[in-house]
Structure 1
Amino acid sequence: MKPERKLEKRKNVVFSIVLFLLVISIFYAIYMLFHAPSGLAEYAGQRVKSDYVLMVLQCLFGAIVIFLPEKVEDRFEVRIPNLIKIIYIIFLFLAIYLGEVRNFYFRVPHWDNILHFFSATMSGALGFFLVDYLNGFDKLNLDLSPFFVSFFAFCFSVTVGAIWEIYEFLADGILGTNMQKFITFQGEVLVGREAISDTMEDIIVNTLGALLIVTLGYFYLQKKQKPNKKVPKE
């Protein structure tokens, strides 16, 4: 079996497992929503109704966007490598199933930072892929420098991180969740610098992850596009 064929098969297996876990988790969260206490958690790690509302939304969101790579391929007639698809699906598994359903955000120290760093590198790599895709259009006649490609990938990755923080802010305001960690487990509402520390930490980690991947990508493109020096004829 060819390597690409094996990768395709593994992608399908990972896809099926993660989608199954997300769908099952939706029903689990809906069931627990009717049995969980209301209000704020009385102790660290306790889940209340707002936590299960968030879990339903996150799992539903994951079950929808897991189809995104295939939809992009069909809509824009592009070929996304299976390796990128597998990494994307694994990220959904880590962020939604392990993070929200299995409560790794509470159980594993710095789990949120790990995911933000991982997502920043992944979105940065996606930025490189998008520019490479655009470079393939003869009608556009693009000949972008390694610096511009890297700069675009960096901006793309940081923008994705910023949009996620906006999503967390809106979810906290509309649904009464605590994604931005502005309320302690004791019910204290943080103010000032402490209230935005979680958000700013996420943005900083996103920026560092994006900077790492675009730096590596810059040197890779620079080496790839470096013209071969021709020995002048005498």
Structure 2
Amino acid sequence: MKIRQYIKRQKELIKEHKGTYKLYKVLRFLVIVTAVLSFLRGSYESVALCILSLLLFLLPSIFEEKLRVDIPGLFQGIIYLFIFAAEILGEVNHYYTAILGWDTMLHTINGFLCAAIGFSLVYILNRNSKNINLSPFYLILVSFCFSMTIGVLWEFIEFTADQLFYLDMQKDFIIKNIGSVTLDPTHSQIPYQVKDIIKTVIYTKGGTQVVIPNGYLDIGLLDTMKDLLVNFVGAIVFSVIGYFYLRNEGKGHHFLKGLIVKPKP
């Protein structure tokens, strides 16, 4: 998007959604301050994440300009907060490990927001087409499936990053009980159960010894399933709200109206 178009869009945003624009300015300032402090500490990876966040902040304006749609101020504000919470608080300030449930909260919100995006896409098509007239249930089903698809694709990205770069995006859990057919000495596919594990010791070919206290290390499986489960919960919550919104023909539900992307006149 050209600079002139971006400036024009920002002026429109000020007029249409003053609260959202103020939030955008505050978050942008905090990101810039974080980038400067990270640079002074020599944490260049954090600086890169800050730059990425600033670029992601531009996405709503870019999508509005390119797709000729109007993203409500409430939806934009939630997107800005989500980006800040995921990249700056989660990654740079280590909230993913410092605060229990931070990743779970974000994945739940992601499921809700992606369902809203899927809902908007089909809703626009349904409202502006003479040949398509989807029932409320079918429209909600499509938005739900859209949200779950995005959730699965994101887990693919995390898995690929972990396998290629060992980033541990699929966070590991300490577990005390396992059942595995691989450990079955009879090779008869009977799950061999190991319970009350108090310590795991790993020996590497180079002679390094790694001790895992209090149990066995689960490599990302529980985290992946947990993320998909809470994404499911977020998508279900939006689907229920969206269904009654359609049944009532858009009456009431002011909160949901703030999440529906509409085509520009």
Q: TM-score, normalised by structure 2?
A: 0.66
1:221 and 2:246 matched? yes
Partner of 1:89: 80
The aligned runs of 1:1-234 (5 Å cut-off) are 8-29=17-38, 32=41, 53=45, 55-56=46-47, 58-138=49-129, 141-182=131-172, 195-224=220-249
For 2:25, give the aligned amino acid. S
- Note the C-alpha offset of 1:164: 1.9
Distance 1:145 1:99, change over 3 A: same
For 2:34, give the aligned amino acid. S
8 Å contact 1:165–1:199 — kept in the other structure?
yes
Percent of pairs with identical residues: 34
Greater fraction helix: 1
Distance 1:116 1:195, change over 3 A: closer
- Note the C-alpha offset of 1:130: 1.5
For 1:221, give the aligned amino acid. L
For 1:222, give the aligned amino acid. R
C-alpha distance in 2, partners of 1:174/1:32? Answer: 27
- Note the C-alpha offset of 1:56: 4.7
Partner of 2:193: none
C-alpha distance in 2, partners of 1:57/1:204? Answer: 30
C-alpha distance in 2, partners of 1:60/1:134? Answer: 35
C-alpha distance in 1, partners of 2:65/2:211? Answer: 47
C-alpha distance in 2, partners of 1:225/1:6? Answer: 25
8 Å contact 2:14–2:21 — kept in the other structure?
no
Distance 1:176 1:23, change over 3 A: farther
Distance 1:148 1:206, change over 3 A: same
Greater shift, 103-112 or 56-65, is seen at 56-65
Distance 1:223 1:137, change over 3 A: closer
- Note the C-alpha offset of 1:27: 4.7
For 2:97, give the aligned amino acid. F
Aligned length: 202
8 Å contact 1:7–1:83 — kept in the other structure?
no
- Note the C-alpha offset of 1:137: 2.9
For 2:24, give the aligned amino acid. F
Please list every run of 5 or more consecutive structure 1 residues that lacks an aligned counterpart in the other structure.
35-51, 227-234
Partner of 1:49: none
Greater fraction strand: 2
8 Å contact 1:168–1:179 — kept in the other structure?
yes
For 1:22, give the aligned amino acid. V
8 Å contact 2:143–2:239 — kept in the other structure?
yes
SS at match of 1:224: coil
